[in-house]
Amino acid sequence: MSVQEYLDKHMLSRKIEDAVNAAVRAKTPDPVLFISNHMKKSVPSVITKVKARQILDSRGIPTVEVDLYTNKGVFRASAPSGSSSGMYEAIELRDGDKGTYLGNGVSRAIKNVNEKISEALIGMDPTLQVQIDQAMIDLDKTEKKGELGANAILAVSMASCKAGAAEKEVPLYKHIADLAGKTNYNLPVPAFTLISGGKHAGNNLAIQEIMILPIGARKFEDALRMGAETYHHLKAVITEKFGLHGCNVGEDGGFAPNISSLKEGLDFVMEAIGRTGYSEKIKIAIGVAATEFCIGTKYDLDYKSPNKSGQNFKSGEDLINSYKELCEAYPIVSIEDPFDKEDWEHSKYFSGLGICQVVGDDLLMSNPKRIERAIQEAACNALMLKVNQVGTVTEAIEAVKLSKDANWGVVISHRSGESEDSFLADLAVGLGTGQIKAGAPCRGERLAKYNQLLRIEEELGDQAIYAGDDWRQTADSFHK
């Protein structure tokens, strides 16, 4: 094909002429750059290459990172990973070779991206998120994405979403809002982890975490400052009690002092809040993760204390009474997984009391069927959305829609294994969830999300709305 034939086939002469005319009208000081950018805009972008690699997450465990190429650039995303996985969530594909990364390598998932997913997606329009995600689901052919690996599929899905935003020349959160059919977005209230326990820390605290929510802040920037100041005041409180060795942190950055009592931890947090002067503006949330210490139908709050374990079991009714007392004594507005993932009856009863937000985490595992059952049985009133549990951006959006239609709250959540990818921040803003849980206001992989929210708030300017008192983004909120 001659040069002239090539120009004629692709109508390049007309496009070049249009670009030159546009440059003249714009009186641009750099016509070559202007014409180059104008030509890029005139050509629809398609996916040209998908390349995956194995990286380490914040725990030093392998995960999948993807570079997705279009003629607009290269877009990178990495899959988060949790410390536990359930039977109802999408399956991470790991190698199982104990001689390499203790069996946690993801070379099989990497191979699936580079050889199978890449071939299926090349040539697709990155703005068509639903079609891209469906193509990967169809390629996988399993209910829980066990063939290609949810970690492989999710990383590609997130990278595609970023590429789609670039193609539309809009911020990522705006593109996500468009995908969800939303026209408004807000900055979420952050749930900062202050004290870590459970599987995330080496202390004797059975529950997973104690968090604070700066609901009374005027904007996200103020909320982040309140969280950071409270965090550092708590460090001083713990140091006074235990010395500096009490200030070791858990996987998500929360302090892990050697406490065994939830009340003791709450008292430390209350003391820290009091020192900030923000007592009227900060509420408390607790992540119980009761499945971790449920044995049969009983709960062993001393399961991490070898000398006490098995001697003081609590029933579901005992826990309900305990939660009621705690909510009366402390400004607790949200409790995550107060019971075992299969303890539907106690979850339903406690949620029906209307004392606080009851978040389904292990109870739901972001699984649509579990969410639908919980809605029908009123077993909780909020979803903990973990994108790796569903495996694609499209399915995450659908899970949020399902929950919001039921007048539930939604918490966009990190995992214990995170990276510097800030995707969750844009997801929370774009879907207008009103709540985000990304760990303590320290550690780079946690702050990547919080700092991105700062940037988004700055970019939105006068249009930025902080969820604040409307943190649940529903018709009902829990005020204390």
Confidence of residue 199 (pLDDT cuts 50, 70, 90): confident
In percent, the amount of the chain with pLDDT more than 90 equals 75
| Confidence at 307, pLDDT banded by 50, 70, 90 | confident
Q: What pLDDT was estimated at residue 90?
A: 87
d(CA 472, CA 189): 9
pLDDT score of 168: 94
**CB burial class (10 A; 0-12, 13-18, 19+) of residue 25?**
exposed
Instruction: Please determine whether the domains at 47-169 and 180-470 fall in the same fold group of CATH.
Output: no
- Give the per-residue pLDDT at 476: 53
In three-state secondary structure terms, 433 is coil
* 247-300 pLDDT per residue, tens: 888 888 999 998 878 999 999 999 999 999 999 999 999 999 999 999 888 998
Q: How confident is the model at residue 424 (pLDDT cuts 50, 70, 90)?
A: very high
Residue-averaged pLDDT of the chain: 92
47-169: in CATH 3.40.50.720 = no
Active site residues: 252, 386
Does the annotation place 143 within a ligand binding site? Answer: no
Provide the 3-class DSSP secondary structure of residue 262: helix
414 marked as part of a ligand binding site:
yes
Top mean pLDDT of 23-27, 105-109, 241-245, 412-416 is at 105-109
Rounded to whole angstroms, how far apart are CA atoms 215 and 212? 9
336 is in an annotated binding site: yes
Residue 173 has pLDDT above 90, yes or no: yes
Does 233 appear as a known binding residue?
Answer: no
Is 53 annotated in a binding site? The answer is no
The answer to whether 85 and 92 are in contact (CB under 8 A) is yes
The answer, yes or no, to whether residue 350 has pLDDT greater than 70, is yes
Tell whether 416 is in a known binding site: yes
Nearest to 121 by CA among 43, 158, 113: 113
Consult the annotation and say whether 200 binds a ligand: yes
Phi-psi category of residue 407: left, alpha or beta, with phi > 0 → left and psi -120 to 50 → alpha: left
Closest of 413, 417, 408, 422 to residue 471, by C-alpha: 408
User: Are 191 and 441 within 8 A, CB to CB?
Assistant: no
Q: Per-residue pLDDT for 87 more than 80?
A: no
Is residue 304 very low, low, confident or very high in pLDDT (cuts 50, 70, 90)? confident
pTM of the shown model: 0.91
Domain parsing of the chain, residue ranges: 3-40, 47-169, 180-470
Which pLDDT band holds residue 309 (cuts at 50, 70, 90)? low
Question: DSSP per residue over 279-290, as a string?
Answer: TTT-EEEEE--G
Residue 340 annotated as binding? no
Dist CA 91 CA 390 (whole Å): 9
437 is in an annotated binding site: yes
CATH architecture of the domain covering 180-470: Alpha-Beta Barrel (3.20)
